[in-house]
């Protein structure tokens, strides 16, 4: 008898500024789960979370995926008056493995991972701690610093500091940032991805504006010194079975672009950026970055999958850890699946590894934490 296909729940969308990107990522993951041998291994059920956080069943999810656009009122008949989690739609409780394709807050930050953990159902990606640390740039940088990993100089800011009277008030804050970092520098919300809410600033007026923009999105902010460097990326996969903790790193890739910096428009518009895989760096630099990518995952307790980004200065041979993304994009332009493709793991095999690993490494960690 043929084995019974595993019921995989693909959940996407979400109450996040990266909602649209999540839809594009989900289309790619679904294609991989339904390709080749996976078509017999898995029965995929898709669930859509709208911008208000309400879950919708397969019919609505299918319509969103077909259009590649967020749902409108016609796609969501009988929409509840209030948003937020209203309970699981039909079919969700039959899911055996969850595959979240949710970028940003309410999906990548440990919230939905906590829900799956409470349900006792395995899921792809990091657990609550790894997701939360990887999402919040202030916490992430603190964990990297504790692990002794090199980073560009940065300053952590609270949104309340922009209006407070302590520490010299807002002008005192601007002076402190200028003194510690100088210009140019980058202002970032701590809990957004895909370059949402990030500003490159070159003077005090721009710094003031950038801080206000980021504060509208998050109460925790990070300001980083701007460096002239290449942008390198490495994909990490954690297999259920393997030596040690099962973490492995892909070949390196490089993002090249003609824009002033790698903003949201450049990242997700055709023709504005170029990926080079493998990156044109020495074997020594490649090995340093790949080892650092694994160390970054361990520093924040990330598991399952991650993309780790770096800055590299050729002239000084300086390599800095930029950030970790614990639910990286799977769009047609996303580095994570392309890096693994170049490492000998095409999309269908990659998503198969991720689903197979979902129960493995989490169960192993759970058993390690269970009292005899």
Q: What is the pLDDT of residue 372?
A: 34
Helices 128-135 and 137-146, interaxial angle, to 10°?
100
Residue 311, Cβ density class (10 Å: 0-12 exposed, 13-18 middle, ≥19 buried):
buried
Q: Express each pLDDT in 314-329 by its tens digit.
A: 999 999 999 999 999 9
Higher pLDDT among residues 363 and 137, named by residue: 137
Whether residue 184 is preceded by a cis peptide bond, meaning omega within 30 degrees of 0, is yes
Share of the chain above pLDDT 70, in %: 86
Q: Do 361 and 310 fall within a single domain?
A: yes
The residue among 200, 225, 250 that closes a domain is: 225
pLDDT surpasses 60 at 180: yes
Residue 258, Cβ density class (10 Å: 0-12 exposed, 13-18 middle, ≥19 buried):
exposed
Q: Express each pLDDT in 83-114 by its tens digit.
A: 788 889 999 999 999 999 999 888 999 999 99
CATH code of residue 203: 3.30.1490.20
- Host H or E run for residue 39: helix 38-41
In a domain, 289, yes or no: yes
Select, from the ranges 62-76, 163-177, 355-369, the one with the highest average predicted confidence (pLDDT).
Answer: 62-76
**This model's pTM is above 0.85:** yes
Select, from the ranges 130-139, 183-192, 240-249, the one with the highest average predicted confidence (pLDDT).
Answer: 130-139
Q: Express each pLDDT in 128-168 by its tens digit.
A: 999 999 999 999 999 999 999 999 999 999 999 887 655 55
Domain encompassing residue 311: 135-149+228-368
CATH code of residue 34: 3.40.50.20
User: What total number of domains does the chain contain?
Assistant: 3
**Cβ neighbour number for residue 144 with a 10 Å cutoff:** 22
Question: What backbone torsions phi and psi does residue 125 show, to the nearest 5 degrees?
Answer: 105, -175
Q: Per mean pLDDT, which range of 221-235, 268-282, 357-371 is the poorest?
A: 357-371
Q: Are the beta carbons of 92 and 9 closer than 8 angstroms?
A: yes
Nearest Cα to Cα of residue 131 among 145, 117, 120, 146: 117
């Amino acid at each position: 008898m043929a084995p019974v296909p595993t019921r995989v729940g693909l959940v996407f969308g979400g109450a996040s500024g990266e909602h649209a990107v999540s839809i594009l990522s989900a289309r790619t993951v679904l294609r991989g789960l339904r390709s080749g041998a996976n078509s017999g291994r898995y029965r995929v059920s898709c669930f859509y979370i709208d911008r208000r956080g309400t879950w919708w069943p397969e019919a609505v999810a299918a319509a969103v995926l077909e259009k590649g656009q967020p749902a409108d009122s016609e796609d969501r008949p009988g929409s509840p008056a209030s948003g937020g989690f209203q309970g699981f739609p039909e079919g969700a409780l039959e899911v055996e493995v969850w595959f979240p394709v949710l970028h940003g807050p309410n999906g990548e930050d440990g919230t939905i991972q906590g829900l799956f953990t409470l349900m006792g159902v395995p899921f792809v990606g990091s657990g609550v701690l790894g997701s939360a640390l990887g999402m919040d740039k202030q916490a992430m940088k603190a964990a990297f610093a504790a692990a002794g990993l090199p980073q560009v100089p940065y300053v952590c800011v609270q949104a309340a500091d922009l209006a407070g009277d302590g520490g010299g008030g807002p002008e005192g804050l601007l002076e402190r940032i200028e003194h510690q970092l100088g210009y140019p520098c980058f202002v970032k919300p701590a809990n957004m991805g895909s370059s949402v809410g990030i500003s490159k600033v070159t003077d005090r007026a721009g710094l003031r504006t950038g801080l206000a923009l980021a504060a509208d999105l998050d109460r925790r902010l990070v300001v980083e010194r701007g460096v002239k460097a290449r942008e390198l990326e490495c994909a990490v996969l954690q297999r259920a079975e393997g030596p040690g903790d099962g973490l492995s790193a892909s070949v390196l890739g490089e993002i090249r672009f003609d824009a002033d910096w790698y903003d949201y428009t450049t990242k997700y518009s055709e023709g504005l950026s170029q990926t080079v895989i493998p990156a044109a760096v020495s074997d020594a630099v490649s090995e340093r970055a790949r080892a650092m990518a694994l160390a970054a995952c361990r520093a924040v307790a990330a598991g399952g999958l991650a993309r780790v980004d770096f800055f590299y200065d050729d002239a000084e041979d300086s390599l800095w850890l930029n950030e970790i993304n614990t639910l990286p994009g799977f769009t047609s332009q996303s580095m994570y699946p392309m890096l693994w493709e170049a490492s000998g793991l095409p999309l269908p095999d990659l998503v198969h590894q991720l689903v197979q690993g979902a129960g493995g490494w989490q169960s192993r960690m759970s058993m390690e934490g269970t009292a005899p």
